[in-house]
């Protein structure tokens, strides 16, 4: 993605977060960026292409954090913690991204959007479930738990906390609450020694 495309994506994310998907028009994005409508069409062909660019942005964010995790020498539980806490830190720094990234209804107008969003979710699922199963083999995570259910506990609770944070207009410290929530889940799933 070029620098200008990234600026357009950021403007679109901000516009959707503040005013809703209906307000995502080339006219409104152009006004936000201080350019003409025609200038935008040099970077994407349609609103559909712009939504695809936003989804690619989400995918790139996911791949970057996964690459970062894989480059570190961490235990499976530490890898899960890193992934989750990275999300809280990122969302705290960019609340508009948090509002859009967890708004599946924005992408339900087009089957290809749904498929792309689902593939991003599967990247997360496969990676975190891999860490869970590795942790079970190493005796770090309880082996009597279904890895898919553990994944859903971790990611589902994260999504719920971020949703509460968004709806409360960021009334609490997301990272602090996220750390507390993760520590509670860790106590539930870790193998007692």
Give tens-digit pLDDT for 98-146: 888 877 666 666 677 778 888 888 888 999 999 999 999 999 999 999 9
| Token pair of 13 as six digits | 């994310």
Residues 71 and 26 in one domain: no
Residues 136 and 90 in one domain: yes
pLDDT range class, residue 26, cuts 50, 70, 90 = confident
Residues 62 and 38 in one domain: no
Residue for token pair 């990611």? 155
Residues 55 and 39 in one domain: no
Q: pLDDT by residue (tens digit) across 31-65? A: 988 888 888 888 888 888 888 888 888 888 888 99
Give the torsion through C-alpha atoms of 28, 162, 75, 118, to 10 deg.
-60
We report the CATH number of the domain holding residue 29 as 1.10.10.60
Q: In 3D, which of 11, 180, 39, 163 has the Cα closest to residue 101?
A: 163
pLDDT at 107: 67
The alpha carbons of the chain give a radius of gyration, in whole angstroms, of 18
Question: Do the Cβ atoms of 190 and 136 come closer than 8 Å?
Answer: no
Residues 2 and 73 in one domain: no
How many domains, in total, are found in the chain?
2
pLDDT at 105: 67
- Say if residue 83's pLDDT is above 90: yes
pLDDT range class, residue 167, cuts 50, 70, 90 = very high
Residues 39 and 78 in one domain: no
Question: Residue 137's domain spans which residues?
Answer: 51-189
- Say if residue 69's pLDDT is above 90: yes
pLDDT at 158: 95
């Amino acid at each position: 993605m070029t620098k200008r495309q990234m600026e357009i994506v950021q403007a679109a994310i901000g516009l959707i977060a503040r005013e809703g998907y209906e307000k995502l028009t080339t006219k409104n994005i152009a006004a936000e960026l201080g350019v003409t409508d025609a200038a935008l069409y040099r970077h994407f062909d349609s609103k559909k292409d712009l939504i695809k660019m936003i989804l690619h942005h989400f995918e790139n964010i996911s791949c970057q954090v996964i690459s970062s995790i894989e480059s570190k020498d961490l235990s499976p539980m530490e890898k899960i913690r890193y992934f989750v806490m990275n999300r809280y830190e990122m969302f705290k720094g960019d609340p508009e991204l948090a509002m859009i990234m967890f708004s599946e209804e924005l992408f339900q107008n087009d089957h290809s959007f749904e498929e792309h969003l689902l593939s991003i979710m599967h990247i997360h699922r496969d990676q975190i479930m891999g860490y869970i199963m590795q942790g079970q083999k190493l005796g770090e995570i309880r082996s009597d738990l279904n890895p898919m259910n553990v994944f859903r506990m971790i990611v589902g609770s994260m999504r719920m906390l971020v949703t509460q944070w968004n709806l409360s207009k960021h009334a609490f410290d997301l990272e602090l609450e996220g750390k507390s929530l993760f520590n509670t889940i860790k106590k539930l799933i870790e193998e007692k020694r």
